[in-house]
Amino acid sequence: MLIVITIAVACPMTAAGGEVRYVPAAADGEIEKAITESKPGDTIVLRRGVHRGAVEFTTSGKPENPITLRGEDGAIIDGGWRGEFPRKSDHNHGAAIVGQRWIEIENITFENCWNRAIAVEDSSYISIRDCRFNCAGQAVYATGAGTHHLLIERCEWNPVGRAIWSWQWKEIKTGKYRCLAQGSILTGDTARGHFVIRDNKVDYVFNAFQYNARARNCFANIEVYRNRFDHIRDNAIEPENFIHNLHVYHNQLDNVSAFVISVDSCRGGPMFLYGNTGFFDFSDPAANMDASIFKFVFQRQPGDPKFEQNSLFLDEPIHILHNSWRYSQGMRSSSEGARYQHNVRHFNNAYAFAHPRQGLQMGKWDTIWAESAPDYDGSRYDHDCVNRPWPAAIRNTGMEANGLENTEPGFVDAVGGDFVLRPGSPCIDAGIEVEGFTQFYRGAAPDIGAFEGTRRIEGPPFFVTVPPGGLGYEERPRITRHRIDGSTLTLFFSWPIEPKSVDATMFHLTSASESANVESLHFGLTNRELILEADRPLDIRSLTLRMDPLPTGENGQPATHWASTVLPSTPKSSR
């Protein structure tokens, strides 16, 4: 039985006056029927209980008016997988979104969905919030040149409980449990990009975030931030083949038994890693004493022993800035005949290595490149702190001239995951301003590590850049960051705003449940930075914003509230 109620709904990106349709548990075919009958702005609510079978989306929302599938607490979609142990080839999905746009999925538990809980193909502006993925090899799989703008936030993914932590790595990679290899909270191949992965919890998996980009403009423009990835049996962050404008920041990356960050045989760039923290609990009986932070391998091609024309090297740098770690060692790789360092910019990082004999190791970097590339192929290291000696590859090249070796960073409680610096830490004011990165600091210089005082270091706001081969879509400017200073609100957009398209009357603010008027506005250093002056002080904890009408980007596209860092205040108008 399908119950339809017309009601004004106040929820993220849901239009006023949309219909709310309630679907009871175990009602075969009713979810698909509700989706088919829905219009932009409608909401489908799954009642508490088990809903069996894959959900197929056959209807799209419209810009700022999505179709929302939301679960009551306790609502479960059971994909129907049954068996002794799953295979990668199984296709018991929980939801399939093919050729659709402006869809939201919220507060649903997905169970027995193997290999993928949610499959997205040639679809855009998809938001997945507050969902739980149990017994699913991959939480979300994205493919197709028409796929762009995916948001995954406040979700949890744990495929097989804690069992994976006791299995041998080879059993998972190539053996009995290989169905778990290459899993990810978001993975795929040919999807275009602009993906936002934030505030999620992932634990007891093989990989937390891994993808296999087929071209330079696939899986481009990605933000991964404020996530907790814990007990990862292989690598936490693992881009493959191509990287373009990947930002990984403000994450807790704990108990990763192989590599926290793995960049193996990739082209492209840039990649930004900043404000991240991570520790390994070596008291765990299953602890891997070789647990490392970075794996950078840039392989030679067959027949190219000098690693020249045909090598898999990054064109643009990996920026490793202001991170804090407690692991076994810094860099390690088992691959022979490979370049271990290439185009790395490494500043203001703090390391408290737990292994008595290991530290910021450089693998075979010095033996391969000491004679042929004394500048280490564009890599730069300085103003870092490590509680072990610098390796020869650092010392012999004059890098880390201002770094601190054999020095404990002075974290409050690294074992407990607190990487704030204690008063008197040698890392305080010992860093360096990084051109194009440093936003603010207190004292004589930036602190070394992930924190400036008690706040995680802030990097530059995210904006979309065009990869070789093009975006494959027209970017709608979205708010990627905002700052408040008294009555001043600064909005940062993913794409430049056309100045003639904005005026003060189109920005509707509330703070502490009261409206605030925008008295004036102006642009900052670029047209991606819009500064609003309100008539009273604003509270960042309660701030909401509605743009009506929507500003327009320099590319002629209307802006969007999608994935904005500022909560929308009321239902928006379509455009």
Among the ranges given (188-192, 342-346, 506-510, 551-555), the one the predictor scored with the smallest mean pLDDT:
342-346
Amino acid at 279: F
Better pLDDT: 268 or 129: 129
CA distance 29 to 50: 13
Residue 49: pLDDT over 80: yes
Residue 152 in domain: no
Pairing assessment for the beta strands 385-386 and 338-339 based on DSSP bridges: unpaired
Task: Tell me, yes or no, whether 132 and 253 share the same domain.
Answer: no
More confident residue, 217 or 315: 217
- Structural domain that includes position 85: 1-136
Res. 360 pLDDT band, cuts 50 70 90: low
366 DSSP 8-state letter: H
Is 247 inside any structural domain? yes
Picking from 77-81, 115-119, 362-366, 517-521, which range would have the lowest pLDDT averaged per residue?
362-366
Residue-level pLDDT at 169: 74
CATH of the domain at 483: 2.60.40.1220
- CA neighbor of 198 nearest in space, from 271, 252, 274, 263: 252
Q: Is residue 146 part of a domain?
A: no
CB-based contacts of 127, cutoff 8 Å, min separation 6: 12, 13, 66, 103, 104, 105, 106, 150, 151, 153, 562, 563
The pLDDT value recorded for residue 369 is 38
- Tell me, yes or no, whether 417 and 484 share the same domain: no
**Count of CB atoms situated within 10 Å of the CB of 218:** 25
pLDDT for res 393:
73
Among the candidates 472, 504, 537, a domain finishes at 472
Average pLDDT, stretch 147-175?
86
Angle at alpha carbon of residue 62, lines to 61 and 67, rounded to 5°: 25
- pLDDT value at residue 392: 77
pTM of the model: 0.92
Confidence of residue 345 (pLDDT cuts 50, 70, 90): very high
Is residue 416 in a domain?
Answer: yes
Report yes or no on 148 lying in a domain. no
**For the chain, how many structural domains are there in total?**
3
180 assigned to some structural domain: no
408 within domain boundaries: yes
Q: Answer whether residue 95 is part of any domain.
A: yes
Which tokens belong to 359?
């530290």
Same domain as 212, residue 296: yes
* Boundary (domain end) residue, out of 414, 447, 472: 472
State percent of the chain over pLDDT 90.
Answer: 67
- Do residue 315 and residue 269 come from a single domain? yes
pLDDT at 347: 97
Do 500 and 459 lie in one domain? The reply is no
Please check whether residues 206 and 131 belong to one and the same domain.
Answer: no
Q: Which of residues 101, 116, 136 is at a domain's end?
A: 136
**Co-location of 467 and 480 in the same domain:** no
pLDDT of residue 306: 44
Residues 328, 213 within the same domain: yes
To the nearest whole number, what is the mean pLDDT of the chain? 87
Same-domain check for residues 400 and 372: yes
Q: What is the pLDDT of residues 62-118, one digit of tens each?
A: 999 999 999 999 999 998 877 655 555 557 889 999 999 999 999 999 999 988 999
User: Based on the domain organization, do 455 and 364 belong to the same domain?
Assistant: yes
Instruction: Tell me the residue type at 160.
Output: V
pLDDT digits (tens, 9 = 90+) for 438-478: 999 999 999 999 999 999 999 999 999 999 999 999 999 99
Q: Are residues 95 and 11 part of one domain?
A: yes
Model pLDDT, residue 304: 46
Q: Do both 415 and 311 map to the same domain?
A: yes
